[in-house]
């Protein structure tokens, strides 16, 4: 493949120590964009390789979802020689990414500060639950812990119900996205200055930033936000409605034009000039009365028919779909948001695709997620080690030879 066919980050090397979700999601984004990602795994492998219940080629589908376009090298950082290999690989890399708890790498003998002093152009990104400093820095964290600590769970669910975690792991994914954004910004900064940078991404910080207007509303008014269910604190016509077939649709009629069109489509044009509903502020103040009028109207047709009518009037609307329905949607299929990866030996797995679409420099092919350690020898030979060096690392227990599996 030409450089443009490998993606816009072709020529960038990432040394990836991350495991499970937040970090691997970030490095997969970089790999999808063309970076060479070398995944450093412990002898037992990334923990996500063993997540039940679905497996392909002895590795979890969970692992396959977030580890395409990577190469795997297995090193035991507690054994002699392993850190020397790591330092050699760092010297040849543009970016180091890790999501260990703060201080773990230092205890293993690998100092981020020393490596960045040795190479001032190096970019290093750490992802953690609570950040590299502060009173909570050493606490363990997974996605739901951070959803709870950030206030996100307090906003999820129906009013009066128990707090719920979101259906997708937003804490992990938000951290991965922000890490990728930070790394790309650091690459641009290095291009103009020659200097690298250290990026500290906290899952808690990411979710607090995503509280967005809910946090600002509270900071302004002093009124704590509550769960909204399928509604909206500011727009009473931004919500879900049950239709005549029992199916649910949503609409986000949040402008005056959309409101007027919504009233007409529902057969309640008189509401447009009703003094209770003239402006959004009026409608918000009288939302219970408004809902009492329009909710029965939705029962006269199926959800699919209402969505068609709303869209014809340029009012945003959609069916509430299941995951199978969403993945089979013609728009999702057209946008190639489900991709099938094949290893050339009969194994295949379908996973969500890359949402970033390039006209000229998109990566043309995606590599199947690696077996544990399968690229180790190739990576080490490219780094200047010979067979004698490699055999010694294996004998010392520092290197696991997955390429022979």
Q: Among all residues, which ones are annotated catalytic?
A: 172
Q: What is the rounded CA–CA span in Å between residue 321 and residue 319? A: 6
Sign of CA dihedral 129, 133, 135, 139: positive
Shortest CA distance to 148 belongs to which of 129, 134, 128, 127? 129
CA 338 to chain centre: 16
Strand ranges of the sheet holding 238-242, from the earlier edge strand across to the other edge: 238-242, 248-252, 317-319
- Cβ–Cβ under 8 Å, residues 51 and 60: yes
- Read out DSSP for 168-231? S-HHHHHHHHHHHHHHHHHHHHHHHHS---EEEEEHHHHHHHHTHHHHHHHHHH-PPP---TTS
Q: Are strands 248-252 and 317-319 parallel, antiparallel or unpaired?
A: antiparallel
Tokens of 108: 């293993």
């Amino acid at each position: 493949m030409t450089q443009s066919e490998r993606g816009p980050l072709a020529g960038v090397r990432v040394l990836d120590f991350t495991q499970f979700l937040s970090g691997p999601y970030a490095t997969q984004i970089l790999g999808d964009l063309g970076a060479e990602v070398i995944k450093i795994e412990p002898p037992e492998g990334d923990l996500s390789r063993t997540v039940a219940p679905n497996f392909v080629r002895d590795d979890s589908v969970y692992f396959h979802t977030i580890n395409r376009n990577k190469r795997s090298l297995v090193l035991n950082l507690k054994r002699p020689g392993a850190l020397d290999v790591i330092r050699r690989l760092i010297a040849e890399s543009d970016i180091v990414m890790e999501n260990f708890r703060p201080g773990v790498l230092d205890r293993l003998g690998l100092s981020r500060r020393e490596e960045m002093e040795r190479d001032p152009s190096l970019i290093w990104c750490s992802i953690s639950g609570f950040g590299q400093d502060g009173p909570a820095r050493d606490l363990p964290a997974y996605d739901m812990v951070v959803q709870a600590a950030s206030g996100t769970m307090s906003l999820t669910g129906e009013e009066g119900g128990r707090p719920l975690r979101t259906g997708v792991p937003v804490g992990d994914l938000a951290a991965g996205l922000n890490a990728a954004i930070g790394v790309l910004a650091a690459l641009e900064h290095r291009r103009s200055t020659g200097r690298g940078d250290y990026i500290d991404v906290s899952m808690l910080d990411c979710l607090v930033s995503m509280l967005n207007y809910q946090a600002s509303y509270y900071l302004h008014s002093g009124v704590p936000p509550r769960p909204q269910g399928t509604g909206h604190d500011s727009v009473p016509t931004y919500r879900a409605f049950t239709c005549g077939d029992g199916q649910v649709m949503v609409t986000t009629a949040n402008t005056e034009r959309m409101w007027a069109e919504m009233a007409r489509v529902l057969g309640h044009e008189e509401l447009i000039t009703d003094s209770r509903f003239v402006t959004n502020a009026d409608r918000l103040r009288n939302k219970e009365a408004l809902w009492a009028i329009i909710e029965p109207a939705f029962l006269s047709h199926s959800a699919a028919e209402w969505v068609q009518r709303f869209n014809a009037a340029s009012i945003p609307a959609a069916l509430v779909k299941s995951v199978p329905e969403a993945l089979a949607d013609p728009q999702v299929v057209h946008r190639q948001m489900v991709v099938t990866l094949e290893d050339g030996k009969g194994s295949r797995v379908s996973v969500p695709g890359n949402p970033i679409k390039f006209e000229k420099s998109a990566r043309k092919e995606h590599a199947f997620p690696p077996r544990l350690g399968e690229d180790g020898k190739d990576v080490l030979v490219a780094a200047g080690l010979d067979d004698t060096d490699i055999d010694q690392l294996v004998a010392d227990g520092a290197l696991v030879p997955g390429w022979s599996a």
